[in-house]
Amino acid sequence: MLTTSEDVFYEPLDEGVFRATEHTVGPWSDKAQHLGPVAALLVRAVERCAPDERRAVRRVSVDVLGPVPVDEVTVRAEVARPGRSVELVTAEIAASGRVAATARAWRMLRSDTTDVAHDDARRLTAPEHCPPMPLPEGWSGGYANALEWRSAASEPAEPGRARVWARQRMPLVAGEEPSPLQRLFAVADCASGVSSSLPFERWAFANTDLTVHLSREPGGEWMGLDARMTLGPDGAGTTRTVLHDAAGPVGQGAQALLPTRL
């Protein structure tokens, strides 16, 4: 993993204060961050908020309130609803005094359910057996190049459907090894981009949110997306995704899309 100060998504400046690097830049503006690093940084705050090994994050919803600038940002988290078996942690990221994105995470008690565990979601071809995936035409921004991509498609491409693997080429925060959960959220928001049936040069399709439900805790560096985009006739769209690590499915993601003609 690269460890120089330039090869990271965020440089820490103070407790809860970070400087976003060019690697966070998203596809719609060179002044706004991609939601992937933003979501991962919010999850990092959740993980560090009153940590308890007895509990694990089972659902995270991220809402985008406005563009997150490629600049200095402040992140904070708190336990909003404590509980014996279930608790709610909230987090927010702000820039120049404005909250730009929020997260709500449910943490639940761990228990042994090995004897009843099952998931019938189709597995992706293992990343080591998948070829490199060239970036699609129209993909731009430092974030797209900050990940290593592989194609997990085993059939001819179909509009609005994609199966891919991705992993970070660099740390989320300088001097730290990202947790598997941070790695998952750094990739999960890409589902709408990789599965898009709309040409980037003619359409924008920013998502207002990202919700992830986890059926188990992720592990490793590679995170997989089995994503499907659906577009309606009156200006709405959604993306539904089965999320994977190298061992198999770990949960499901959903995004609400606003398709807009450029």
Please, are residues 3 and 166 in contact by the beta-carbon 8 Å criterion?
no
So what's the pLDDT on residue 5? Answer: 46
> Taking a C-beta distance cutoff of 8 angstroms, is the pair 70, 11 a contact?
no
First to last CA, the chain: 37
Rounded CA separation 104/45 (Å): 11
**Phi first, then psi: what are they for 40, rounded to 5°?**
-65, -40
pLDDT of residue 29: 87
Contact status, residue 23 vs residue 169, Cβ threshold 8 Å: no
Superfamily of domain 10-110+126-261: Acyl-CoA thioesterase, double hotdog domain (2.40.160.210)
Q: Are strands 86-95 and 72-81 parallel, antiparallel or unpaired?
A: antiparallel
Q: What is the pLDDT along the chain (262 residues), one digit of tens a residue?
A: 333 446 999 999 999 999 999 999 998 889 999 999 999 999 999 999 999 999 999 999 999 999 999 999 999 999 999 999 999 999 999 999 999 999 999 999 999 999 999 998 999 999 999 999 988 777 777 999 999 999 998 766 688 899 999 999 999 999 999 999 999 999 999 999 999 888 888 888 889 999 999 999 999 999 999 999 999 999 999 999 999 999 999 999 999 999 999 8
- Write down the pLDDT at residue 181: 98
Q: Give residue 146's identity as a one-letter amino acid code.
A: A
Rounded to an integer, what distance in angstroms lies between the CA atom of residue 195 and that of residue 159?
8
Per-residue model confidence (pLDDT) at position 198 = 86
Q: Is the dihedral of CA 137, 139, 142, 148 positive or negative?
A: negative
Strands 223-231 and 237-245 turn out to be: antiparallel
Which tokens go with 45? 């705050």
Contact predicate 167/229, CB 8 Å: no
- Over residues 94-140, the pLDDT tens digits come to 999 999 999 999 999 999 999 999 998 999 999 999 999 988 777 77
Q: What pLDDT does 6 receive?
A: 67
Query: CA-to-CA distance for 241 and 218, rounded, in angstroms?
Result: 15
